[in-house]
């Protein structure tokens, strides 16, 4: 999502401090991580069942060997990343679903505006409008974002997945707030993807990011040059958002698990 989830994260991400992933003491060793992954079987994710892309087994193995370091690959306009990190799954899930704060003064994710325009913010099924613009270059997009309730149930609550797919073919550009930017910026051509989270241990989570984006024009060229580094920075942005904003006193806590139950 272009948290989306957020399609253009792979094109335009900000650089953050390299030490954010440094503490890995709470994650088990390589063999234990791989055993946890195999037991859960993440191949059931939408990246395969809905979008027909194989599970990144090689990235799982590399991430298990290098806890705290994002492992990445790119195939054309499709990018994938896997990170095993010492954070509870609830914290990462909240950051992914905290779309009203994804554009928080540009501090975390490089989007200028992030708004749920249909459905409930942080809800199981909602429609999201976002845009990016810098130095006169940018894109806007509208995506349907869904929590995968069935996969959560089938995995006995082990797989937490957030899936998005664009609505660019049907969106009305004259509706607010879309019309405020549609005349100045081009819309994305195509975008879909998913975030998939697995609990490796109570304080350790595997994060998988899958994204296919066709921004069109010059932005497509820039995407090819920056894709891997942008995904790395996107991982860091999500973790930082969870650590700093969601943990701040007074932060909103109206979140839910993929099955709709409240998440304190």
> pLDDT per position in the chain (264 positions), as tens?
543 333 333 333 333 344 455 555 689 999 999 999 999 999 999 999 999 999 999 999 999 999 999 999 999 889 999 999 999 999 999 999 998 888 876 677 878 899 999 999 999 999 999 998 877 778 999 999 999 999 999 999 999 999 999 999 999 999 999 999 988 899 999 999 999 999 999 999 999 999 999 887 544 434 444 456 778 888 999 999 999 877 655 556 589 999 999 997
State how far the Cα of 133 lies from the Cα of 74, in Å rounded to an integer.
24
Residue 93 in domain: yes
Q: How many domains does the chain have?
A: 1
Residue 29 in domain: yes
Residue 67 in domain: yes
The range of the structural domain enclosing residue 16 comes to: 7-252
Residue 257 in domain: no
Residue 246 in domain: yes
- Looking up residue 74, the CATH number of its domain turns out to be 3.30.530.20
Residue 258 in domain: no
State how far the Cα of 56 lies from the Cα of 73, in Å rounded to an integer.
9
State how far the Cα of 188 lies from the Cα of 131, in Å rounded to an integer.
10
Residue 260 in domain: no
Residue 261 in domain: no
């Amino acid at each position: 999502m272009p948290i989306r989830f957020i399609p253009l994260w792979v094109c335009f991400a900000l650089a953050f401090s390299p030490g954010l992933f440094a503490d890995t003491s709470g994650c088990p060793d390589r063999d234990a991580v791989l055993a946890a992954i195999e037991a859960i079987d993440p191949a059931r994710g939408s990246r395969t069942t809905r979008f027909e892309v194989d599970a990144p087994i090689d990235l799982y193995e590399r991430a298990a060997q290098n806890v705290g370091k994002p492992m990445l690959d790119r195939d054309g306009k499709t990018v994938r990343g896997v990170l095993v990190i010492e954070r509870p799954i609830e914290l990462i899930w909240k950051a992914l679903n905290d779309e009203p704060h994804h554009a928080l003064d540009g501090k975390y994710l490089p989007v200028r505006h992030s708004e749920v325009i249909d459905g409930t913010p942080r809800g199981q099924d909602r429609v999201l409008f976002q845009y990016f613009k810098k130095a006169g270059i940018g894109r806007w997009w509208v995506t349907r974002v869904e929590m995968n309730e069935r996969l959560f149930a089938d995995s006995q609550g082990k797989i937490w997945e957030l899936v998005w797919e664009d609505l660019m073919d049907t969106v009305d550009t004259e509706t607010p707030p879309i019309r405020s930017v549609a005349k100045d910026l081009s819309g994305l051509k195509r975008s879909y993807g998913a975030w998939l989270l697995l609990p490796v241990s109570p304080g350790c989570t595997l994060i998988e990011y899958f994204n296919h984006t066709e921004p069109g024009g010059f932005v497509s060229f820039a995407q090819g040059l920056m894709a891997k580094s942008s995904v790395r920075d996107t991982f860091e942005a999500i973790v930082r958002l969870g650590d700093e904003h969601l943990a701040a006193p007074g932060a909103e806590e109206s979140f839910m698990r993929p099955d709709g139950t409240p998440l304190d």
